Amino acid sequence: MVREIYKGRIVDLRVERVTLPNGVTVDLELMHHPGASAVVAADEQGRVVLIRQYRHAAGGYIWELPAGVLASALEPPEVCAARELTEETGVVARELRHLGTIFTSPGFCDERIHLFLARGLTDGSAAHEADEAIAEIARIPLAEALAKVRDGEIVDGKTIAGLHLAAAALGAP
């Protein structure tokens, strides 16, 4: 049994009656999300592009990777990644490499974020959407970004995962 609670622009909330592998039947509150892509854009100097964006749920501005929601279930994640990188930062990538896919909060949400490494960067023009409050776009050394993770300055999950996966892919210490 599925009961629809809310249908929104980005997420849907429903309650599903589910029989777990141990035989117990429970009602689970589940949030459906179409998925997203995030990009670690790394330049030839070993710097990564980060944005400082207002996130109401987080209580203010946080450092993040450029990212966005898939336009539809049919949109290839790499197309979304390229679009969001350019929209949010003005950066265009010659090459995108898939680093991995993560669940954001699998206890109640099916959102998956596809993480990409972007290389061969050129600067273009950003075109922020009306609901984006990006205060700053910065290029910082990957090692410094990872230090910000350790120091608690970067707290966004997709950004933490993406930076670590990119460091491994780039052979960074």
Instruction: Report d(CA 117, CA 107) in Å as an integer.
Output: 27
Active site residues: 132
Is residue 129 classed as helix, strand or coil in its secondary structure?
coil
Largest CA distance in the chain: 55
- What CA–CA distances, in Å, run from 65 to 34, 49, 81? 19, 7, 11
Cα of 93 vs its chain's centroid, Å: 17
